[in-house]
Amino acid sequence: MDIVLIVKSIIIVTIFAVSLGIAAYETYFERVIAAFIQDRVGPDRAGPFGILQPLADGGKLFFKEDFVPTLADKWLFILGPSISMLTALMSSAVLPFGDTLNIKGQLIDVQGMDVNIGILWVFGIVSLGVYGILIGGWASNNKYSLFGAIRAASQNISYELAMGMSLLAVILVSESLSIKAIVQSQHGINWHIFHQPLGFMLFVTCALAECNRTPFDLPESENELVAGYHTEYGSMKLGLYLFSEYINMFISSAVIASLYFGGYNYPGIDVVHDFLIKQTNDVTGHNIATGIGILVFFLKTFFFIFVFIWVRWTLPRFKYDQLMNLAWKWMLPLSVANLIIEAAAELTPMPFLASWVGLGILFLAYIIFRPLFLKRKLKQNLQ
Amino acid sequence: MQYLELLKNMSLVQWAFYFLSVTTLFGALGAVMSKNTIHSVLYLVLTFFSISGIYIMLNAQFLAAVNIIVYAGAIMVLFVFAIMFLHLKGDHHGFDNTIFVSALTAVGILGVILTLAIKKAEHFRVDVNNFNPKIGLIENLGDVLYKKYLLPFELVSILFLIAMVGAVLLAKKEK
Amino acid sequence: MQLTDRSKKTDKSDLTVIEKTYWPGVVKGMGITLKHFFSKKATIRYPEQKRYLGPVFRGHHILKRDEQGRERCTACGLCAVACPAEAISMVAAERVKGEEKLYREEKYAASYEINMLRCIFCGLCEEACPKQAIYLRHDKFVPVFSSRDQVIYGKDVLVEDLNDRYERDAWTKEDMAALWQKQKD
Amino acid sequence: MIQNQEIVEDLVGHFGEKVFAFEEPYGLLSFSVSPADIIEIVTYLRDHKLFKFNFLTDITGVQFPENKGLEFCAVYHLHSWKNRVRLRIKAFMPAEKPEVPTLTGMFAGANWMERETFDFYGINFLGHPNMKRILNIEEMDYHPMRKEYPLEDATRNDKIDALFGR
Amino acid sequence: MSKVNIVDAPEGFEGSGFFATSLDKIIGLARSNSLWPLPFATSCCGIEFMATMGSHYDISRFGSERPSFSPRQADVLLVMGTIAKKMAPVVKQVYLQMSEPRWVMAVGACASSGGIFDTYSVLQGIDRVIPVDVYVPGCPPRPEQIIDGLMQIQELAKNESLRRRNTAEYKALLDSYKVL
Amino acid sequence: MMEKEILAPKTVGDALALNVPLEEERELHIMNFGPTHPATHGIFQNILTMDGEKIVSSEQTVGYIHRAFEKIAERRPFYQITTLTDRMNYCSSPINNFGWHMTVEKLLGITVPKRAEYIRVIMMELARITDHLICNSILGVDTGAYSGFLYVMQEREKVYEIYEEVCGARLTTNMGRIGGMERDLSPTAIKKIKDFVNNSMPKVMKEFEDLFVRNRIFRDRTINVGPIKVERAMEYGFTGPNLRAAGVDYDIRVIEPYSSYQDFDFEVPVGHNGDTFDRFMVRNAEIWESLKIIKQAIDNLPGGPYYANENHYYLPPKKDVYSKMEALIYHFKIVMGEIDAPAGEIYHAVEGGNGELGFYLISDGGRTPYRLHFRRPGFIYYQAFPEMIEGLTVSDIVPIMSSLNVIAGELDA
């Protein structure tokens, strides 16, 4: 069999396994980080340092009584978590985890597949992910679930817009829809975060919203909706929902790392590459350099996972109407402004400087016009 | 027997095509015949999904992605959203004879038109030798849209803007 | 409405323009949580580490014996009367000859039962006892039960074990006060 | 600071025989009215220019089974914030017809307090918008705070009653 | 098609015997370390449960920090506080909605036996409506005692065979509480 | 007719499965909120009639932990009622304890020595701090920020350590006695109190405020959410922090000083329009004021006895019980509950954690109260809840409910 095919399948299986494993251990890290943030120690009785906690949870969920409420729509009730899980797992296919591997003279991407619409693929899959929640919440035939589902739907649609807009700025700069190409365009330390800080902030906020994480965890906000869309779910079906949420978190972190933090790029990547090649040989050196790149990529991803968890245990939750206000009145205009600024900056000879100047102008405009705007609003309210 | 032979000789691409066609039709039929509104919307989503698959087979990846994002991901979600809110669950009609007859008529007419159209279209078969495999890709699409059809494109966008403003006006509550 | 001269309005000033962008609040909050992330943990790992329960903690009941190992309880029933939960019940018996080694008073509790699930550990029995017989241990609490028939503690559990005597710094409130006075000086 | 004496004089001057049985246990002025007059008197006290008994602190019921003919009593506590004076009004009523007009029209907060009193004693507040039990289950067929009903749960079996002569 | 031979199971290896034990053990361990509580807090003991969840006692060390307010997701029903007769049907309902395996812990004097509230309105112990696995004495119990109770339930979970919930004895137990 | 239908669901499951739209012009639906909903920290049921996510009207059912305090009190001697008051507002049981003791002392005509009064003040203010801490941090939890809750819970743990040092229990303290305190403050306790007041609490409180007060998400969730006008609040019988948030500085500690509150210098924080944020801020400010009071009390703690020298009412020392006949008789009499209480009628109010906590006591000279009624602030002002949540969404009612700080044990009595 073709060596390329074999390596490729190994890579794909590895990616699959890695995203599952990371998702499983995200639950553990969530608990530990939450505990540390709250001056606690977190799970420490399941295995050394509680390291077996995810397995215990999984084992328990698998052997819990499987239950479908009498009034529920049986098939959809089962379909809900399945779709969630499916869509969550699909999106990791296009993520470039590293540069190329040199196997017998063939360069193989460390990536499931490099389609030229990679980022759209992620985007599309994520937008389908909401069906899992929607169907599950509706099928449970429970008020709280339905509320959770409806909130999830509207929230996801609203934030997808701003997300897409801020994404466009990145695509504009890197001139490709392929994530691999986007990563390559940030070679070394030429990361997009430095060009588009505003876009980055918007994207992170939207990513939080798309993953239904605090402060946007309205679909399952437990103090309001008991458990939101998965109120009626127990056993492994619940497990799948929780699991898919964590996979989504991993994917979003990875996407943020690739889009704004240069993916597997790191300062001095060329120097290291050359040095390694000199030390060993072309093949080994290249592969080791790729390995370092993969490591860097995962470091960045883990950092963002940490940020996700960190945010969750810090911030209060939005209210539904505020969430919508934020999406439509703040995020969307800002992302359009960001797009315009980036586009304009691309036309100038010094895009980097120009984009910062543009952002400065935007900020100044906000400071100046905000009070005027408020006054008018106040007048309207008084009338 | 002949058909079996045919099946055996079908390539992977053909298999995929027929699979997608079947799911498309299945979804479409489900959407029409399902008694539960939510179910029929979900069938419709399945249809969109498989149509996107067919787009991919036509090498129009961008179109496929956009189809999923816009139709399956946004519009259909809105549909489901609205239906859930409006409690249309109990509000379904049986599949009675008049509807069946009229549907059959419509399908029949559509079938005739399509057959004719396809017959005519056969004259424009793609030249296999000079076919540009990148024709459906985003670069070409952009090229065509922003160069050849710039004016219509912009006009369409203005049209959308007008529609949007109209929708907002309609949706806004009277004070 | 102004009723006193001590009122003070709370601060409800508007947010500044910068604060309205959410970021200052978010960053400040995240800073605080990050600080806690690296701070010392407050957790007591319970079954392994035990917390000091204080000098007067009201835990497991014990029927004290005196220095010679005789039971102090005279079954007067004050503890039962004082118990708001009506958890204590007892049967009194007259001491017969030859039992002077066992019971200090002429009357004693032939059976003494406390329903541990009823008990609210208020300490009123300890206070009511004129013989200083019943105490709530400060170093031990009642274990959990997994069956209903274990919950009534009889004398076998309650009476002090001679080999493992219960000690505390001060046996009465007055002794305790004297002890504190000494600590202060 | 308003003295209790002033209030008494004003009330007697205005209502005459309608207010009676003035007492001052532990410094708190207390008097009785007949149930029918309660609204009139509370309204007067609330709207009084000087006294300003603006706050209904509490409504509760008491039962005096020995007091034949007037077994039940609704007790109102009023509070004048400005003058820092409290006031207790009692309305006695017979056991056959424990009825008193409601104060919900004047003080929204009287609603549940009256319901609670009804729940406990069966005192019926006429004109109350929602006169039904509040704390106990609806199926309960007696008013538990009345002296004739036992406190204990009849099903408890883990104590020796002889020890507790309650 | 060749004939498929179904190999007979070796003798003596059936039932909850040899095969089951290792799996039983593993799943028991898993369950015991992942007991998600449903805090049914009604009064004082609920406040002490807050302390148990708090930093000083940290129930998360036992893998139980995820409170599941939806009964479907919970493993342990922690009944904390007085259960009035008005509340009793609700407790029962919640218990019914929980999926197997489920455990019940009565925390504090009130839930276990009614405590000082020997009155017409208070249920004298929740074991009159649902089966209770662990009783925690105290009014309210200290967080240590609540943790003790949780560890007792872990012990129960660890030593329970996977099939216990299908046995006739268990059904009879539920029957005796009329919760089937 | 419709009301019947609203009341139909008796259990959670019924109501959770309840999916029947009401036949009306607008499509209204019913949602059952409680009694086991996570946000109804105590337990009460809110049956909401909703239009989409907007609440049209609501119906409250309480009494899910009705425990018949008042009936029990008629069967218990005075000193045993302390254990009942412990369990009433369990977040601040010392206040209830001492309020009850002061009522009885008033009845019996006992003057409590200054030291006991000061110790009581310290304990009551500590209790107020814990009460407000729980309320405010739970408000944080209900808006989704969990960590702040655990930070201040550590401080609450410190208060409990002090309680433990003083009386040996954490929550249901039973720490006072008629005529004074059960025990004096130990040197350790004094040290712990000083450390708490001067070092740890201000630091954590500052941090807690930093987490929330200027955070826009939190402010948006709370400002102008569930406001109540002063007049309306008074009609509903609001007292305590909830009333002060609406703008009236009604504080019994100032208006009718008890237990030497007149000796201390503190302010009464008032809010602006009585919304959730105001309640939050008033409670926060009150915590600071409480700290101030405790600081003054502990610094000026007078010497002398910690109980009134009334051996009719206060248990004699154990040593005397052995040696003196008189003491033994009093001991028995007090424990049996046969103290000679005069007949009388008393209303005594203290500033509880939630507002005016009143004790209405009728004594007929017997060993138990003839009638004891508690004016529970929570019970009285929870009535305003339906009005406050009308027209808001589900997300709003959760912070409103927790900022009202309705304690079910107190509400249902």
Cβ atoms of residues E101 and A64 within 8 Å: yes
Q: Do A37 and C33 touch (CB under 8 A)?
A: yes
- For an interface test with F, the pick among A68, A319, A324 (most F C-beta atoms closer than 10 Å) comes out as A319
Of F123, F235, F256, F237, whose CA–CA distance to F190 is shortest? F123
Q: Give helix A74-90 / helix B37-57 axis angle, nearest 10°.
A: 30
C1 has a chain D CB within 8 A of its CB: yes
Cβ neighbours of residue B166 under 8 Å, at least 6 residues apart? none
Q: Do C30 and A41 touch (CB under 8 A)?
A: no
Q: Left (φ > 0), alpha (ψ -120 to 50) or beta: where does E108 sit?
A: left
Give the integer Cα–Cα distance in Å for F394 and A129: 25
- For an interface test with D, the pick among E82, E83, E90, E121 (most D C-beta atoms closer than 10 Å) comes out as E121
D25 has a chain F CB within 8 A of its CB: yes
Q: Which domains does chain F have, with CATH numbers?
A: 2-61 (no CATH), 69-308+342-375 (1.10.645.10)
Partners of E85 on chain D (C-beta within 8 Å) are: 137
Partners of F223 on chain A (C-beta within 8 Å) are: none
- Contacting D with CB below 8 Å, chain F residues are 62-63, 66, 68, 70-72, 74-76, 106-107, 232, 234-238, 248, 250, 255-256, 344-347, 349, 356, 358, 360, 362, 371, 373, 375, 379-384, 412-413
* C-alpha distances in Å from residue F169, one per residue of A148, A230, A236, F291: 42, 40, 42, 22
Of F156, F106, F380, F356, whose CA–CA distance to F251 is shortest? F356
Q: Do E44 and F172 touch (CB under 8 A)?
A: yes
Q: Which residue has the tokens 């001139």?
A: A175
Q: How many angstroms separate the CA of residue C7 from the nearest CA in chain D?
A: 15
Give the integer Cα–Cα distance in Å for E54 and F133: 14
Residue C61 CB neighbour total at 10 angstroms: 24
Residue type, A101: L
| Inter-chain CB pairs, D–F, below 8 Å | 97
Of A259, A245, A200, whose CA–CA distance to A84 is shortest? A245
Higher pLDDT, F23 or D124: D124
Report the mean per-residue pLDDT for chain C: 83
- D17: domain range? 4-109
Higher pLDDT, C124 or B8: C124
Q: How many angstroms separate the CA of residue E129 from the nearest CA in chain D?
A: 13
Cβ atoms of residues F242 and F270 within 8 Å: no
Q: Do F217 and A215 touch (CB under 8 A)?
A: yes
Model confidence at B159: pLDDT above 90 = yes
Model confidence at E15: pLDDT above 50 = no
Cβ atoms of residues F377 and F411 within 8 Å: no
Give the integer Cα–Cα distance in Å for A33 and A41: 9
Q: Which tens digits make up the pLDDT trace of B106-146?
A: 989 999 998 888 877 666 566 666 666 666 677 778 888 88
Give the integer Cα–Cα distance in Å for B165 and B160: 9
Partners of D145 on chain E (C-beta within 8 Å) are: none
Residue type, A170: V
Asked if the structure places residue D138 within a domain, the reply is no
Q: Which residue has the tokens 């209210």?
A: A319
How does strand E103-107 pair with strand E76-80? Answer: parallel
> DSSP state, E127?
G
- Rounded to an integer, the average pLDDT of C108-136 is 85
Supply the pLDDT for residue E12.
46
Q: Left (φ > 0), alpha (ψ -120 to 50) or beta: where does C69 sit?
A: left
Partners of D26 on chain F (C-beta within 8 Å) are: 106-107, 344-346
Partners of D136 on chain F (C-beta within 8 Å) are: 63, 66
Of B62, B68, B80, the CB nearest to A128: B68
Give the integer Cα–Cα distance in Å for A23 and F215: 31
As given in the structure block, the two tokens for residue F73 are 């009190």
Give the integer Cα–Cα distance in Å for A133 and A320: 17
How does strand C7-9 pair with strand E37-41? Answer: unpaired
Partners of D164 on chain C (C-beta within 8 Å) are: 80-81, 86
Chain E touching partners, 3 or more CB pairs below 8 A: A, C, D, F
- DSSP lists the bridge partners of residue B137 as none
Of F265, F275, F286, F273, whose CA–CA distance to F209 is shortest? F286
The CATH number for D91's domain is: 3.30.460.80
Q: Which tens digits make up the pLDDT trace of A259-284?
A: 888 888 888 878 888 888 888 877 78
- For an interface test with E, the pick among C45, C46, C49 (most E C-beta atoms closer than 10 Å) comes out as C46
Q: Please give the order of strands across the beta sheet that includes F45-51.
A: F28-33, F45-51, F54-61
E58 has a chain A CB within 8 A of its CB: yes
Model confidence at C73: pLDDT above 90 = no
Residue type, B18: Y
Supply the pLDDT for residue F251.
87
What SS3 string covers chain C? CCCCCCEEECCCCCCCCCHHHCHHHHHHHHHHHHHHHCCCCCCCCCCCCCCCCCCCCCCCEEECECCCCCECCCCCCHHHHHCCCCCEEEEEEECCCCCCCCECCCEEEEEEEEECCCCCCCCHHHHHCCCCCEEECCCCCCCCECCHHHCEECHHHHECCCCCCCCCCCCCHHHHHHHHHHHHC
Supply the pLDDT for residue B95.
59
Cα torsion B137, B143, B145, B146: sign: positive
Give the integer Cα–Cα distance in Å for D132 and D144: 14
Q: Which residue of F has its CA nearest to C125?
A: F335
Partners of E93 on chain F (C-beta within 8 Å) are: 11-14
Cα torsion E32, E33, E38, E42: sign: positive
Q: Which residue of B has its CA nearest to F20?
A: B87
- DSSP lists the bridge partners of residue E134 as E105
Model confidence at C125: pLDDT above 70 = yes
SS3 F317: coil
Q: Do A53 and E73 touch (CB under 8 A)?
A: no
Asked if the structure places residue D131 within a domain, the reply is no
Q: Which tens digits make up the pLDDT trace of F19-52?
A: 444 444 456 777 777 777 777 766 788 888 877 7
Give the integer Cα–Cα distance in Å for C126 and F318: 11
Give the integer Cα–Cα distance in Å for D10 and D31: 13
Question: Into how many domains does chain D fold?
Answer: 1
Q: Which residue of E has its CA nearest to A38?
A: E55
Model confidence at F9: pLDDT above 60 = no
Q: Do F62 and D144 touch (CB under 8 A)?
A: no
Model confidence at F155: pLDDT above 80 = yes
Q: Do E119 and F65 touch (CB under 8 A)?
A: no
- DSSP lists the bridge partners of residue C136 as C61
Which residue spans within F43-99 are E strands per DSSP? Answer: 45-51, 54-61
Cβ atoms of residues D71 and D52 within 8 Å: no
Give the integer Cα–Cα distance in Å for A222 and C21: 27
Supply the pLDDT for residue B72.
80
Q: Which of residues 124-153 of A touch F (CB under 8 A)?
A: 141-144, 147
Percent of chain F with pLDDT over 90: 0
Supply the pLDDT for residue F18.
46
Partners of C116 on chain D (C-beta within 8 Å) are: none
What DSSP letter does each residue of A109-140 carry, written as one string? EEES---TTHHHHHHHHHHHHHHHHHHHHHHT
Chain D touching partners, 3 or more CB pairs below 8 A: C, E, F
Cβ neighbours of residue C169 under 8 Å, at least 6 residues apart? C55, C175, C176, C179
Supply the pLDDT for residue F22.
40
Q: How many angstroms separate the CA of residue D119 from the nearest CA in chain E?
A: 12
Model confidence at E16: pLDDT above 50 = no
Backbone φ, ψ for residue F123 (5° rounding): -65, -40
Supply the pLDDT for residue B89.
47
Of F86, F84, F82, whose CA–CA distance to F70 is shortest? F84
Give the integer Cα–Cα distance in Å for B160 and B168: 12
The complex scores an ipTM of 0.84
F27 has a chain B CB within 8 A of its CB: yes
Confidence of residue F1 (pLDDT cuts 50, 70, 90): very low
Of C84, C119, E44, C116, whose CA–CA distance to F87 is shortest? E44
Report the mean per-residue pLDDT for chain B: 80
- For an interface test with E, the pick among D119, D120, D139, D155 (most E C-beta atoms closer than 10 Å) comes out as D155
How does strand C152-153 pair with strand E37-41? Answer: unpaired
Confidence of residue B158 (pLDDT cuts 50, 70, 90): very high
- For an interface test with E, the pick among A33, A38, A60, A67 (most E C-beta atoms closer than 10 Å) comes out as A60
Q: Which domains does chain E have, with CATH numbers?
A: 37-176 (3.40.50.12280)
Q: How many angstroms separate the CA of residue D124 from the nearest CA in chain C?
A: 33
Q: Which residue of C has its CA nearest to A317?
A: C26
Higher pLDDT, B102 or A225: B102
Q: What is the CATH number of domain C61-177?
A: 3.30.70.3270
Q: How many angstroms separate the CA of residue A368 from the nearest CA in chain C?
A: 9
| Inter-chain CB pairs, C–F, below 8 Å | 168
How does strand D72-80 pair with strand F268-270? Answer: unpaired
Model confidence at A141: pLDDT above 70 = yes
Residue F309 CB neighbour total at 10 angstroms: 11
Give me the count of residues in chain A.
383
Supply the pLDDT for residue B162.
93
As given in the structure block, the two tokens for residue D72 are 């039940």
Residue C4 CB neighbour total at 10 angstroms: 15
Give the integer Cα–Cα distance in Å for A245 and A305: 12
Cβ atoms of residues D42 and D124 within 8 Å: no
F75 has a chain E CB within 8 A of its CB: no
Cβ atoms of residues F272 and F247 within 8 Å: yes
Q: Which residue of C has its CA nearest to E125?
A: C117
Model confidence at F228: pLDDT above 60 = yes
